[in-house]
A and B are shown apart, each in its own frame.
Chain A
Amino acid sequence: MTISLTVNGTEHAVDLPGEVPLLWALRDELNLTGTKYGCGVAACGACTVQIDGQPVRSCQVALADVWGPVTTIEGLGTPDAMAVIQQAWVDHQVAQCGYCQSGQIMQAAALLAETPEPTDDEIDAAMQGNLCRCGTYPRIRAAIHDAARAMKV
């Protein structure tokens, strides 16, 4: 079955059963490997992407149910043209192993779009679904605050 999908502004036709989660279409069909698999059960956030600007766990969204254009970490910015939030991540040297960070950044970007100046409590609430086994939380928090400031000016 062919399903059409808009990812990072490009339209794709993927030939997969409609029940396949978006995550696995991105990774194995479109080779957009920035989005990660961590648990497959909505418990880690490594697979977070945005659909219509909303943060979603792509391991939980069936291809047939994708309701709008998808943005992945690759669509947020590139090494040569990073988004403000990605620059904040670099400035704060957030990543350790880095495996969770695509999901963290996509989640944080959605938070900032909704709440331009989040408090610590708002960051706690928005980010608690994103696990980081390396324990980069303090730097993630600092980077979010910094990105918020940078986006204001």
Chain B
Amino acid sequence: MSRIGKIARRTFLVGSAAIAGGVAFGVYYANKGMTNPLQHAKGETTLNPYVLIDAQGVTLIAPRAEMGQGTRTTLAALVAEELDVAWEDIRVIHGPPGQAYYNHAMFGGILPVAEYKKGPVAEHLGQMAGYLGKALQTQITGGSSSMADAFEKMRHAGATARETLKLAAAKRFDLNASDLRTENGTVIAPDGRSLTYVELAPAAAEIAPPDVDLRPATEWKYLGKSMPRVDMVEKSTGTATFGIDVRPEGLVYAALRINPHFGGGMTGFDDTEARKMPGVQKIIHFGTGIAVVASNTWLAMKAAEAVEIDWETSPHPATQEAIFASIRTALDGAPNSTLRDDGDAGTVPEGASLVEAEYSLPYLAHAAMEPMNATALYTGDELILWSGNQAPILHRKHCAEAVGLAPEAVTVHTTYMGGGFGRRGEYDYSVYAARVAKEMKGTPVQLTWSREEDMTHDFYRPGGLGRFRGAVKDGKAVLLDGRIAAQSCLRQAGARMMGFESGGPDKALVEGAFDQPYRIPNHRITGHIAELTLPVGFWRSVGASLTAFMYDSFIDEMAHAAGADPLDFRYQMMKDEHAPSAACLAAVREMSGWTGKTPEGIGRGVGFCHSFGTPVAQVIEVEQTAGGIRISKAWIACDPGIVLDPSIVEAQMIGGMIYGLSAAAFGEITFTNGAADQQNFPDYDAIRMHTAPKTEVRVLTANPRLSGVGEPGTPPAMPALGNALFDLTGQRARALPLNKSFDLIV
């Protein structure tokens, strides 16, 4: 373990403020504030242990994990903005599991209220729900919430540290702190004398941090600018350490083979041949499958394949037809939620023309580029885990249980993740590594899943059905009544993560539909939970990844039925309901030179979704070529309120859109006898260099609150592509993936 890692761990697990040769700011409060999580104590925003100063300089501790979204860089910029340290001198590490790192903003998002409508009351309730996050010990990277959560907290941590260091310097100089200024990690007196933060740290540790006001945005040096990402050089030179790259001394390698038929165990196995294979050290069996430990990952994988296993059958429906029949039963049945019910959605207004459509979406895998893996060392009284993960406290807890240790005896090192997309909030892969390590006492083991294992043991984005009924009159929508049915991610993943199943209306099932900023007089959205138990979980943009395709495609169908321009149709219904959303539509209209008309061989579609507090509008252009239909261009406009790093926002918008286009064009997981049919990228392809559109992004800032950017780019891409294909071909896209009904270039 690196020195800094040791310090950080000891500091935060032990909770002491001052450590030999170093000082961590805010830790005083970590003890105090954590005892009563629901109390909104004064100075609450300063309680976070984010700044560590030792002989080597200033280290910032990121409470959220880096899975590609640039969070580490922006979290560092937030602290550095107030702390006055030079960008080149900043080191950032991921925090150890700690309750003080709980994600406030993510739980603030669970209330059944449309984000764009949040007034002061909902805002306050959201804050209270946020404290639940603290009670539940959520140190989770998800819900596009990292920046909203950190925006105040991290700046306060930096400001408090700065002022404390100034107080320490004031004593040494015999001056008032207000006479001093700070720059590049030093406190400077008017007469030119200066002391570095490192020199001041031990004395500062003795001083109670004062209350500090934050600098206004007009004074920002780092925030609002595109900062060089702190992980960029490592990631361009092959030197960034992902979970799969940790190499502790004496490491051995393992492969996994678990029953692909979900819910089935193993009745017997024969490992006679596998045992004789080169490099094999041990074969471990779990009730649901086996792991092989060898001197090399590939040798372990080969031996795992050579084990003959009798699998139990799966209790899940045997066919796709049966799965979707069950979803249809839910669709026809009573709703779990009716989170929007304006006017009288049961009656078609007089003189209006009726529009009806049904939509079908498949299950999806996350397919993060780095397959699931984790590394663990079990010593008998301690477990050390290296794992790229989105929820270290959960990983620690469940690994501790798996090996029979107390959580305090488990050290979690959160590495870089080769993509997360929601998959790495689950802890199964860490637990498997811990279980294998327990059988290899004293030897560190790296357990790597083959791509096939990864794809066939996901927690999938649930497949779903939508039935929409609407009516248009005088160029406007007068009725929209949508029913959405799918498995509940929130119930299932919530039970895995929190240990209890949440009841009540499932907001995550209908978000992206019930909460859209359209003024339609008769407007209802109901959610229907399918009683299937296939493993499902959070997938980039969660509910909106399913519902936005249905809802926005249907808006497009209504526009055409009304004889209106689809972009203007949306705009007119939105402009008085939520101006920042309408402004995004206006922006893509201008950027794309939208006229509503396209030449022969070209199609254009617009898509819109407001999710995680951020409205995003997209225009996608498709082109008929000799080799098939190409997704040629895209324009994106979004409004996250405040832009902390324009380059990162742009990258997330484009990346989010491409993730959505990949799913819309090619993504489908099907199940036979309870096992996923798709095994690897040839069966589950994605957008590639030659199929990615040329894209332009505009970021607006009229929204009153800071909101996330990691997920909101994904949902509108799917309907925008479908709508563009309709414009090109005249054929409506009502089922995904689109390559089944359209001749897309692969």
Contacts and interface: CB of A to CB of B under 8 A. Distances in A.
B418 interface: yes
Q: How large is the interface on A (under 10, 10 to 19, 20 to 34, 35 or more residues)?
A: 35 or more
Given A125-B690, A140-B689, A101 B647 contact: no
Given A98-B416, A99-B369, A135 B448 contact: no
A96 B655 contact: yes
Given A20-B299, A28-B295, 17 more contacts: A16-B278, A16-B299, A24-B296, A34-B237, A78-B237, A79-B237, A89-B236, A93-B226, A95-B229, A96-B68, A98-B234, A98-B418, A99-B370, A99-B418, A130-B689, A131-B688, A137-B692
B296 A28 contact: yes
A124 B658 contact: no
A43 interface: yes
A130 B369 CA distance: 11
Given A37-B448, A44-B369, A74-B238, A135 B298 contact: no
A100 B689 contact: no
Given A98-B68, A133-B368, A134-B68, A93 B689 contact: no
Contacts of A78: 237, 239
A139 B651 contact: yes
B238 A96 contact: no
A34 to B, nearest CB: 2
Contacts of B421: 133
Contact of B451 (A29, A40, A124, A136): A40
Contacts of B687: 135, 137
Interface stretch (B22-30, B240-248, B548-556): B240-248
Contacts of B67: 97
Nearest to A101: B235
A56 interface: no
A68 interface: no
A70 interface: no
A127 B686 CA distance: 14
Contacts of B279: 16
Contacts of A16: 278-279, 296, 299
**The 6 residue pairs across chains A and B that have the minimum distance between CB atoms:** A34-B238, A99-B418, A135-B658, A97-B68, A98-B235, A73-B238
Interface of A: 16-17, 20-21, 23-25, 27-29, 31-41, 43-44, 46, 72-74, 76-79, 82, 86, 89-90, 93-102, 105, 123-125, 127-141
A145 B561 CA distance: 45
B296 A41 contact: no
A20 B298 contact: yes
Given A28-B297, A133-B368, A33 B237 contact: no
Most buried by B among A23, A99, A123, A131: A99
B33 interface: no
B685 to A, nearest CB: 8
A141 to B, nearest CB: 7
B681 A95 contact: no
Contact of A133 (B239, B448, B686): B686
Contacts of A128: 688-691
Contacts of B430: none
B416 A96 contact: no
Contacts of A136: 651, 655
Interface in B259-282: 278-279
A33 B238 CA distance: 7
A132 B655 CA distance: 9
A25 B297 CA distance: 9
Contact of A95 (B231, B295, B299, B691): B231
B705 interface: no
B47 interface: no
A128 B70 CA distance: 25
A38 B235 CA distance: 16
Contacts of B247: 31, 33
A123 B694 CA distance: 14
A74 B656 CA distance: 30
B630 to A, nearest CB: 10
B651 A43 contact: no
A125 to B, nearest CB: 7
Interface string B190-232: 0000000000000000000000000000000000001011011
A93 B680 contact: no
A124 to B, nearest CB: 4
A44 B235 CA distance: 17
Contacts of A95: 68, 229, 231-232, 235-236
Contacts of A130: 688-689
Contacts of A29: 296
Nearest to A133: B369
13 contacts: A28-B253, A28-B295, A40-B451, A43-B682, A77-B237, A79-B233, A79-B237, A95-B236, A97-B416, A102-B238, A130-B688, A130-B689, A140-B689
Interface in B383-430: 416-421
Contact of B654 (A25, A40, A79, A138): A138
B655 A36 contact: no
Given A41-B680, A136-B655, A93 B232 contact: yes
Contacts of B694: 138
